[in-house]
Amino acid sequence: MEENKECCHKKKERAEKEYRDLINRLSRIEGQVRGIKRMVEEDVYCTDILIQVSAVNAALNSFNKVLLANHIRSCVAEDIREGKEETIDELVGVLQKLMK
């Protein structure tokens, strides 16, 4: 994991395959949100919109699962091997937020 600290934020250069997958997922999600906007514009009935929104939630949740799995297998595992303990606290912290 190439880790340069240009700005205050740590960076993570991802393999092309992971990068492509994450971007494609987000493009689909963006399209779904636009689709829901059209449903509101076309006076579609409430329950149909509610179901679509929960589908977007599921897609975002799935995105997060993939990203988290990659993060643990790469950043977390590598940092622990290199003795960078702060990554453990970082992982625990983000999980506390995700597990609301």
Residue ranges binding a second copy (CB under 8 A): 9-14, 19, 22-23, 26-27, 29-30, 33-34, 36-37, 40-51, 53-54, 56-57, 60-61, 63-65, 67-73, 75-77, 80-81, 85, 88, 90-100
Sequence letter at residue 64: N
Give me the least distance between CB of 90 and a second copy, in Å please: 6
Nearer to a second copy, 17 or 67 (CB): 67
Contact criterion met (CB below 8 Å) for 39 and 52? yes
Give me the least distance between CB of 68 and a second copy, in Å please: 6
Give me the least distance between CB of 24 and a second copy, in Å please: 10
Residues in the chain: 100
**Alpha-carbon gap, residue 66 to 60, rounded angstroms:** 10
Give me the least distance between CB of 15 and a second copy, in Å please: 12
Angle separating helix axes 16-41 and 46-71, nearest 10 degrees: 170
Nearer to a second copy, 17 or 96 (CB): 96
DSSP assigned state of 9: S
Which tokens belong to 61? 């949740």
